[in-house]
A = this chain, B = another copy of it.
Amino acid sequence: MCQLMRRPLCRSLPKCICQFFCKYSETKCSDPGLIQSDITWTPSMDYHLRKSSPEAYKKLRKIAKTFSRSTAVGSFIELTAQEHKANQIIMKAKKAEYSTGILDPEKFAPGYHIFQALPKINESALFKILAKMPKGGALTTHDTSMCSTEYLIQLTYRENLWVCTRKEGCKVVAFRFSKEKPTIKAYRECNWEPMEALRERRGDENVRKYLNRRFSMYPLGSFSSNNEAWRHFMHIFDLVDGLVQYAPIWGEYFYNAMKEFLADNVQYMEVRTLLPQLYCLDGTLLPVSETVQIYKDQINKFVKDHPNFIGAKLIYAPLRNVDRAGVAKYVKTCSELNEQFPDVLVGFDLVGQEDVGLPLVDFVEELVKMPTRVKFYFHAGQTNWSGSEVDANLVDAVLLGTKRIGHGYAVTKHPLIMALAKYLDICIEVCPISNQVLQLGQDIRSHPASLLYARNVPIIISSGSPSYWHAAPLSHDMYMAFLGIAPINADLKFLKRVAKNSIAYSTLSDEEKSIAFLKWKEMWNKWIDDIVKNEGSEHKESVK
């Protein structure tokens, strides 16, 4: 019999209700989300709770609310005295925004599309705190959507850059570095000219403005369907490719990405990489291993230049829209590269719109040939086609032993898979803004991850392709998750849990994790101190 049953409270309540709460509380420590249900209960049993005394009612209500809080993401986190102080300041900022929102929902950013909400978020006191938060790692990033649009525009001033346009020179569809006029075909018919010519013809400021839009999803806050959103999204990748797949740029791009992420207080990155063959000025292509080598060199260089950066790892993630033979080739490439770069290229995934490619199940026989030292980090459930073949990718990802699930937007519709994720310690990579922009859901408050939160399924917060919506590397997603997905009472414990998860569920080895954790902790403690100190000085300011 559980503690609760012995309390006088239970004697004044219907027995079955008490038993239920007891069962719930008993399983709490081992696995709070999963409830045993062998209590015999018959519908005829008189369980009118309103017969309970006002005191019993209050107590029962408190128990119910406490249980809910104690079984959510972050509930097992302990806060230090200093963290408690910082927490009060953070929660004051969060509650202020929440209360304003309840009175006037138009002022609540997570209810709106990022394109509409971004300027408002950037002014938010809570956002300013979260921007400085050491977030651990960004585990869902993609090769060419990491660096800011401003950086991409800067690249277009480099020498030897050609641009290919359509619609009488109005629409830019490709870039290419070359001594001579490129002979390579872009993904669409177009006319090559030197970048300088375009700039001269249309004016520098106009071209900057134009590219600022073309390197992102702006201003299209909605598309006729999510397929349409995906088409637009993939075209940005096409456009950026020629610019960054130039061998001398590739490394520089990634170095700058790490710089931008670290500036957003992200100390570690995992890149889902297509591993393209990089090209040289004369058009020759380098072997894929060079792409990995450049990544490796840049990581080492960046860590040397920035000792508080933990590092980065690669997950080979080619496009899923291929046949079985294509996947067989992927597996071969991945195995070989992993053998050559065992500490850098450590995982495998398939990317691109899930809805239009073949489902994972079609590739199982090829995928199981992957050496087990290469772990799986499958994108799955990034769909709203419930019960479809695509939706079943969640089942196959888990059965293939995936370590994390990219997006997993649909996972809550599959209780068994969600329970397995928790049980097998599979982490869900939640990317709120990406899901919004790619039209899975509009209002962040209805994002299914609120259930993962409530059931304490392991999650990390990530951004996907933040550059394409002009968002910070991780801060805007963290803000949306903290304010829009987690409930009002979710506090610093939640933030600490997701930051720690981003190291715990990374591809890092146990030894690497220890070092990573120490680097993160140092920055974290400083952040906590700064919050408390700033509040103190602001308080002094206002007293003066």
Instruction: Report A's interface with B, CB cutoff 8 A.
Output: 17, 20, 24, 27, 30-31, 33-39, 41, 43, 47-51, 54, 57, 60-61, 64-65, 67-68, 71, 98, 101-102, 104-106, 111, 224-228, 355, 361, 364-365, 367-368, 370, 372, 376, 384-388, 390-392, 395-396, 398-401, 412-417, 419-420, 423-425, 439-443, 445-446, 448, 450-451, 454-455, 485-490
Contact = CB atoms under 8 A, between A and B. Distances in A.
Contacts of A440: 443, 446
A226 B71 CA distance: 30
B67 A416 contact: yes
Contact of A450 (B102, B376, B386): B386
A401 B104 contact: no
A102 B34 contact: no
Interface-central residue, A38, A50, A420, A488, by most chain B CB under 10 Å = A50
Copies in the complex: 2
Given A102-B355, A225-B111, A50 B391 contact: no
Given A102-B390, A415-B455, 16 more contacts: A35-B419, A47-B424, A48-B401, A71-B416, A102-B385, A104-B225, A104-B227, A105-B226, A384-B443, A385-B445, A388-B487, A412-B451, A413-B487, A442-B442, A446-B446, A448-B448
B227 A105 contact: yes
Given A102-B355, A386-B488, A20 B423 contact: yes
A398 B64 CA distance: 10
B372 A48 contact: yes
A386 B416 contact: no
A395 B64 contact: yes
B36 A36 contact: yes
Contacts of A413: 450-451, 454, 487
A352 to B, nearest CB: 16
